[in-house]
Amino acid sequence: MFPDAPALVEFAKDERTKQTLQLLFSPQGMDRPILAPPGVPAERVAALREAFHKAINDPAFLEEAAKQRIGIDEVSGDEVADIVRTAYGMPADIIHNAKELMGPAGATTE
């Protein structure tokens, strides 16, 4: 919506705050991902990614989206995988900090 506006993460004063914000906002970077369970064969993942890429870039699809004033900004499978990998790779203290910031919504039954 505002491509030239700085992201909140850019205002972080230290690495811990930056990582916490990255974790909290990671779902937004994926928009509405299509996910598959672990263990899906690589060739099947590649086929799904290719099909999604072709569908989201189809001229008729893009024309219809434009008519409905829907912005289309593809997030590739590789980008989604990187976001998930980064989120799951965050240190335990960052995860704990993010849960605390989320309040009851981030509470677990640990």
Does residue 8 belong to any structural domain of this protein?
Answer: no
Confidence at residue 51, expressed as pLDDT on a 0 to 100 scale? 94
Does residue 37 belong to any structural domain of this protein?
Answer: yes
What confidence tens digit (pLDDT) does each residue in 3-27 have?
A: 788 777 888 888 888 888 888 888 8
Does residue 27 belong to any structural domain of this protein?
Answer: yes
When mean pLDDT is compared across 66-70, 82-86, 100-104, the lowest value belongs to 100-104
Number of domains in the chain: 1
Q: What's the pLDDT band for 28 if we cut at 50, 70, 90?
A: confident
What confidence tens digit (pLDDT) does each residue in 41-63 have?
A: 999 999 999 999 999 999 999 99
Report d(CA 31, CA 42) in Å as an integer: 23
Does residue 14 belong to any structural domain of this protein?
Answer: no
Residue 94: give the domain boundaries: 22-106
Provide the 8-state DSSP code for 2. Answer: -
Average pLDDT over residues 61-73: 94
Cα dihedral sign, 91-94-98-104: positive
Q: Give counts: helices (H), strands (E), the chain.
A: 5, 0
Does residue 15 belong to any structural domain of this protein?
Answer: no
Question: What mean pLDDT is reported for the chain?
Answer: 87
Does residue 12 belong to any structural domain of this protein?
Answer: no
Does residue 3 belong to any structural domain of this protein?
Answer: no
Q: Find tokens 């099909």 and name the residue.
A: 51
Q: What is the pTM of this model?
A: 0.70
Report d(CA 58, CA 32) in Å as an integer: 18
Rg (the chain; Cα; Å): 17
